[in-house]
Amino acid sequence: MRYCDSHAHLSSPDVLPQVDGIMARAKIAGVERILNICTDIESLEKGLDLEKKYPQIKNAGATTPHDVGKEGEIAFPYFAKAARSKQLVAVGETGLDYYYEHSDKETQKRYLIRYLHLAIECALPVIFHCRDAFADLFAIADVEYRKGAPAILHCFTGTVQEAEQVLARGWYLSLSGIATFKKSETLREVARLTPLSQLLIETDTPYLAPQSKRGQPNEPAYITETAACIAIAKNIPLEEVARASFENASRLFLC
């Protein structure tokens, strides 16, 4: 079976020193593609270097909604240049986070729109981070993002109703190790209703390790546990989950 980890932070300072071992274990687990998410100038530069060393790594980038208040204006030109020069295969993670609100809501909205426009300009999919802000995310995207253009809800943790709205827009829904947690029955219901044609799987390395690895740093090799959980929830063979999520990621990120 082949897997694609559709969201990992391999070039973050906490992960980069261990990346050679991480990549070796990923290969053993059948993880053939990893989308590295760059969230600042340094992780972008390191991510582009990683791709040269490991061709199975591709890069996406944007300033997260947490950090746009502090870093948005400085970092945006770097991400825009990388997107326009085809060094990125997606724009993100961008979006809205009203749970923490480390950046004020209006600033988050402003940068979300800028990144949506960049994704349209460069014909790239956009990766959304959204927490406690789905109403505003949908409202902004419906106006500022082209209907039918590809989008991914990374590490989805919303309600069944919010998942239905994601899927109704033709977007992809990405599930993480949170789906394996004992109290995550809502996410397993989301897994059941998500068509295989709109499903992605991620680790969000180094965060959100699956149930059997909770408390440890996450890594791409652990994606198999999340895939198995989704297969059980959907009552289908694991091979179908692996194949569909891999093919979806390959189509989205041209890798």
Nearest alpha-carbon partner for 227 in 219, 218, 237: 237
Confidence of residue 254 (pLDDT cuts 50, 70, 90): confident
Give one DSSP letter per residue of 10-70, joined into a string. Answer: TTSTTTGGGHHHHHHHHHHHTEEEEEEEE-SHHHHHHHHHHHHH-TTEEEEE---TTTHHH
Confidence of residue 64 (pLDDT cuts 50, 70, 90): very high
Q: Does the pLDDT value for residue 89 go beyond 80?
A: yes
Q: Does the pLDDT value for residue 147 go beyond 80?
A: yes
Q: Does the pLDDT value for residue 207 go beyond 90?
A: yes
Average pLDDT over residues 145-164: 97
Taking only the tens place, the pLDDT of each residue in 97-145 is 999 888 999 999 999 999 999 999 999 999 999 999 999 999 999 999 9
Homologous superfamily of domain range 3-253: Metal-dependent hydrolases (3.20.20.140)
